[in-house]
A = this chain, B = another copy of it.
């Protein structure tokens, strides 16, 4: 298979209540990504889209087709991917394969969501569709509840009293808001303290409001090309070194592993093996911190820390810009925002910019970053991991 690179990226401001339609948001970021790669829509051979709720929030199914048409990608194959919050990454991984296989040379991947069109109770109920509709949602098992359960299991499994764990969890949110301040596209630009998190309203014990990422409207897009084409288009291609994807199904199917997410550990293993790399080789990481407890579990599952130790690592600053493994220098889902279908594409955009060394002016560039990891979690244990590299 051929080497494949990201050659252009585009990223909208993440926000509440965007006045634009999903297609409009996508078209803007796609044109940015194409312009960056010195390409036009006529050069695009196929379009891939991550989108979850377009039908619910805008009455627009198969948005990929109208998006492609809107920017003048006429009569190309355009495909929508849905794997809940991992939809965007799923689209990227699939697009990678179509280029790696030699079938296409240049493809466009977008991700978009208008998740704030629903109020929080309706959104929470709607999101619960990405749990098991037979065994989980009918039992009242929504995602805040699922991650609260994981927090309790984490506390008991690793002998960390709940009061102590909530402090560790707070450190995740505090760091995310700190770097979110530096990201002009982030939804929140507000520094918070551990005390702020701990005194914020309880959502589901022990998860407080400031442990949870927001609902968000936003879009991101990337252009992917074969190595040969990439070298003609940019002097800073960022290559896909490894990809992995898994689906766990309902959470109870992993009960003997919880609070570890077995699906993630297997997806990460696929990506590391394909790249011939280990966690030590990763210079920068964007991972799926939909709740602060999710960030701890993710960082451990990806091999950066031993199980039960990630919270301390966050508190010690090991995940900061100058730390052992800088995590979520974008502000993460917590502060950058989480427009579901766009999140994976946004993460790839962030890592691409880090590996190109473009974020110095924003004060969040990891010095000399050459290898980055993307981690996205969708619903009940859909995981996509991707390793990007300057080589």
Among B100, B129, B249, point to the contact of A68 (Cβ < 8 A).
B249
The 9 closest A-B pairs by CB, nearest first: A69-B249, A101-B101, A77-B245, A78-B247, A65-B247, A60-B133, A61-B129, A80-B82, A61-B130
Please give, as numbers and ranges, the residues of chain B lying within 8 Å of A380 by CB-CB distance: 65-66
When the two chains form their complex, are residues B94 and A379 in contact, meaning their CB atoms are under 8 A apart? no
Please give, as numbers and ranges, the residues of chain B lying within 8 Å of A250 by CB-CB distance: 66, 69
B interface footprint on A49-86 (CB within 8 Å = 1, 0 otherwise): 00010011011111011101110001111111111100
Instruction: Report the minimum CB–CB distance from A68 to chain B (whole Å).
Output: 5
Is residue A382 within 8 Å, beta carbon to beta carbon, of the partner chain?
Answer: yes
Among B21, B75, B80, B249, point to the contact of A263 (Cβ < 8 A).
B75
- Nearest B residue to A381 by beta-carbon distance? B65
Listed in ascending order, the chain A residues whose CB lies under 8 Å from chain B are 1, 21, 23, 47, 52, 55-56, 58-62, 64-66, 68-70, 74-84, 90, 94, 97-98, 100-103, 128-130, 132-134, 137, 245-250, 253, 262-263, 266-267, 378-382
Please give, as numbers and ranges, the residues of chain B lying within 8 Å of A267 by CB-CB distance: 77
Among B62, B77, B103, B248, point to the contact of A379 (Cβ < 8 A).
B62
When the two chains form their complex, are residues B47 and A247 in contact, meaning their CB atoms are under 8 A apart? yes
Number of copies of chain A assembled together = 2
Is chain A's binding surface mostly helix, strand, loop or mixed? Answer: mixed
When the two chains form their complex, are residues B83 and A80 in contact, meaning their CB atoms are under 8 A apart? yes
Bound complex: CA A249 to CA B279 (Å): 43
Q: Could you pull out 27 A-B pairs where Cβ atoms are within 8 angstroms? A: A21-B134, A47-B247, A55-B129, A60-B129, A61-B379, A62-B83, A62-B378, A64-B247, A65-B248, A65-B382, A66-B132, A66-B134, A66-B250, A69-B250, A75-B263, A75-B266, A77-B245, A77-B246, A77-B247, A78-B83, A78-B382, A79-B81, A79-B90, A79-B94, A80-B83, A97-B101, A100-B101
- Nearest B residue to A379 by beta-carbon distance? B62
Bound complex: CA A349 to CA B55 (Å): 29
Bound complex: CA A250 to CA B74 (Å): 11
Please give, as numbers and ranges, the residues of chain B lying within 8 Å of A55 by CB-CB distance: 55-56, 129
Bound complex: CA A281 to CA B98 (Å): 28
